[in-house]
Amino acid sequence: MKRLYFLLIIVLFYSCKESRIYEDFLIKSDGVSASDNKLEIDFDFYPTSTTHDIYNRDTYSFSYSEEHEQSEWVAYYLDSDDITAANFDRPFFEQDPLVKTESADWRNYKKSGYDKGHLCPAGDRKRTLEDFVETFFTSNISPQQHDFNSGIWNRLEEKVRYWAVKHDGLYVVTGGVLSDNLKTIGKERVSVPNYFYKVLLSKDWNKMIGFLVPHQDSNKPLYEFVVSVDEIEKLTGIDFYPNLPDKIETQLESKSDYKGWSF
């Protein structure tokens, strides 16, 4: 009888262990855990790529466009741990060794009249010095007018950090709208986008918001740049959260209001 009882305990132990291993597999392969139903920071939930050149860094991923010599999107998760009062020294921008075709040389920006505008802001990566430094690869920048970079775009970046704290974490996708016949700078002909965008998704999947901002400074309130994510997808050819459940994706991406977001 004791032996039978002992064997039963062993069977139950390995059954539970196998269940746990399977759940771990689901988290890694599908990006969704059955136990907490949260969006994982997983490649499967990043946007589609029109270039098929996706790279993963420690704290963000990006899809690089060799044609435009910049990323079409940078995607990352942002929460309060990333936003600290740390005052790190700014490093020099460097070409990204991950990019197989080589990312643009920073010298393309020299005397161009344009800033090296971060896509994932350095201010969103202050958890560690290593995280901060990682934002200074040229795969993470796009030419931006100075007044735009330090004006309306900076205001939007600050608001995103505010929301990341308020909503206990956000998923962020950002980039310039890369299209034909754009102005270029430098010997490598780095494209200058006419519009920049951000697409934000709350960690609980309840809220999504899109911003499409013309590449010029503006004193308008941020909510005037809110558009549906569907509109940004049509302009860019990118599907931002393709592995969200279809019903949730359709509902969130069609909205162009900002209900639930405090401005």
- Rounded Cα gap, residues 68 and 121, in angstroms: 20
- Annotated catalytic residue, options 68, 118, 167, 215: 118
Q: Which residue has the tokens 């270029």?
A: 184
Measure the CA–CA gap between 123 and 87, rounded to whole angstroms.
10
Beta bridge partner(s), residue 78: 170
Report residue 228 as tokens: 């549906």
Structure tokens at 72: 């079409």
Rounded Cα distance, 154 and 195, in Å: 15
Q: Tokens standing for 88? A: 């790190």
* 118 given a catalytic annotation: yes
Q: Which residues are catalytic?
A: 118
